[in-house]
């Protein structure tokens, strides 16, 4: 049995002769995958047979994909971790003016189809096969405001394709295989992250835009420091502990006696930034998160030593 016959062994096109023709065409085209049908040397009978097969209304693309999916799932079952890579591509048929059923693409003047695929890959990068594929023609470009577009239900948007890919991936790939959905920034949408996920289903999605992170990988919480810009007149109480602001003040001012009143939060932020390497030049602007994080790490160690020095010797 050839590899194509093995790959498409579950194909059911309604007639065994069509099933055999499918295998023959796949073997033929795969021999020169970069060449068009007419570029490869074929006799007229073989060429006519390919075109007739494609034009046959009894031959459904979904039936061919279903057979390939069966083989893909067999390979997936032998893996511990599988990457389900979702991506969308455009098929531009702008030069085929007489072709029907096309829609607009990213460029308003282009005509063609969109194809969204879920492609399975092993953790070592070995291709396992196409799990799902959706093809559609965009009816027209909707001219709406940004707010009106955001208010539309996700089911009315093309973004629904990401949710469909996730849903079908979880239905077809059974546990205990761990599935990691991989996608570009178009998939960075709330509805996808809020979708139900089975155990072992994870995401690896490129962020559409930068986001503030409330919790870092350590136990140091830096989100409260943003209050310094919103409320510059507030003291540091509630953001830093007493040992932290005391040792911070003493270190910056080179004194052993801390003040009785907590300093302003905005001042403490600048001092913490200095611990992290911030120079405070006019051209530097405000200190960034990384600088504050480094400063907080130093402050945490300094505060621990400060507390030890504050204990009576008989309690140590």
Indicate the domain borders of the chain. 1-59, 66-211, 223-315
- Tens of pLDDT, residue by residue, the chain (316 residues): 899 999 999 999 999 999 999 999 999 888 887 777 876 667 788 888 899 999 999 999 999 999 999 999 999 999 999 999 999 999 999 888 788 889 889 887 889 999 999 999 999 999 999 999 999 998 876 666 565 666 778 888 899 999 999 999 999 999 899 999 999 999 999 899 999 998 889 999 998 877 665 555 555 555 555 556 666 678 888 888 899 999 999 999 999 889 999 999 889 999 999 998 888 887 777 788 888 988 998 999 899 888 877 655 554 4
Of 121, 13, 103, 24, the C-alpha closest to 65 is 13
Of 17, 15, 13, 173, the C-alpha closest to 80 is 173
Predicted local confidence at residue 95, as pLDDT: 82
Q: Which helix (H) or strand (E) holds 135?
A: strand 127-136
CATH class of the structural domain 223-315: mainly alpha
Q: Which residues contact 118 (CB under 8 A, 6 or more apart)?
A: 84, 85, 86, 130, 131, 132, 133, 165, 168, 169
Residue 164, token pair as written in the block: 């469909």
pTM: 0.64
Q: CA angle, 294 as apex, 292 and 297 as ends, to 5°?
A: 110
Residue pair 122/158 in contact by the 8 Å Cβ criterion: no
Pairing mode of beta strands 103-104, 81-92: unpaired
Predicted local confidence at residue 121, as pLDDT: 96
CATH code of domain 1-59: 1.10.246.40
Question: Cα–Cα distances in Å, from 52 out to 22, 46, 130, 236?
Answer: 12, 10, 25, 78
CATH class of the structural domain 66-211: alpha beta
Instruction: Compute the distance between CA of residue 49 and CA of residue 316 in angstroms, rounded to an integer.
Output: 91
């Amino acid at each position: 049995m050839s590899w194509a016959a093995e790959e498409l062994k579950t194909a059911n096109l309604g007639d065994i002769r069509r099933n055999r023709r499918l295998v023959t065409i796949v073997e033929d085209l795969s021999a020169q995958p970069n060449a068009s049908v007419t570029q490869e040397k074929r006799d007229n009978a073989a060429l006519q047979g390919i075109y007739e097969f494609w034009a046959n209304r009894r031959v459904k693309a979904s039936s061919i994909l279903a057979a390939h999916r069966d083989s893909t799932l067999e390979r997936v079952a032998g893996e511990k971790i599988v990457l389900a890579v979702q991506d969308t591509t455009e098929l531009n048929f702008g030069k085929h003016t007489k072709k029907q059923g096309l829609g607009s693409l990213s460029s308003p003047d282009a005509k063609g189809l969109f194809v969204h695929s879920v492609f399975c890959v092993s953790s070592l990068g070995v291709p396992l096969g196409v799990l799902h594929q959706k093809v559609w023609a965009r009816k027209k470009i909707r001219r709406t405001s940004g707010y009106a577009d955001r208010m539309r239900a996700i089911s009315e948007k093309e973004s629904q394709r990401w949710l469909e890919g996730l849903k079908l991936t979880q239905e077809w790939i059974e546990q205990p295989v761990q599935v990691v959905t991989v996608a570009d920034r178009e998939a960075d949408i709330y509805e996808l992250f809020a979708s139900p996920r089975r155990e072992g289903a994870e995401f690896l999605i490129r962020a559409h835009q930068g986001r503030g992170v409330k919790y870092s990988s350590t136990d140091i919480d830096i989100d409260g420091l943003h209050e310094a810009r919103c409320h510059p007149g507030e003291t540091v109480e509630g953001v830093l502990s007493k040992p932290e602001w005391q040792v911070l003040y003493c270190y910056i001012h080179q004194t052993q006696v801390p003040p009785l009143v907590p300093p302003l939060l905005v001042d403490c932020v600048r001092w913490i930034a200095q611990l992290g390497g911030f120079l405070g030049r006019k051209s530097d602007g405000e200190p960034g998160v990384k600088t504050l994080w480094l400063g907080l790490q130093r402050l945490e160690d300094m505060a621990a030593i400060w507390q030890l020095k504050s204990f009576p010797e008989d309690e140590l």
